[in-house]
Structure 1
């Protein structure tokens, strides 16, 4: 149903697709894609299953919640906050992550 409504709005309003793509927050798209790949690798290697089996053996609920919190903190430190280059520059977007031009300066 939502797809039909979206299709009807697309046909009635006819937004400019170039403008929509240019205003897309690409950092969020890349971060979401990276997280999906990361979770896929964890799942394929069996890491998520192993973690679930270990957490399933904990009888104390509070201890299980603490263990999940520690695991989430470890995984959160592996993922970059905004981009891999954000640690190298204090300004967003960093020079090394911008689209290169003829006169682009080298990364930091």
Structure 2
């Protein structure tokens, strides 16, 4: 009994391994065109044009009541994955850049 079981499992496993190794890919005649000199099909892919990215505003004006406060007391506002920090001299929110760390206009008094 155990010998028949192991034999059946072994044969099933062997058939499964060899049947998955076949590389037959059907080709439709609508997507391929053949060249008369060669027998290999040439696949023509459609050209996809990307839409231009929406422009990102460098400066926005936001009411301070909807802005959030960071751990160091500065106000910020997030729009579409971009963070704007409040300039305390003119009250506008500017798109983040590294110079804001050292600029005293972006630190609360």
Using the size of structure 2 for normalisation, the TM-score is 0.24
Bigger share in strand: 2
| Greater relative contact order, per chain length (Cα 8 Å cut-off, separation 6+) | 1
**Higher alpha-carbon Rg:** 2
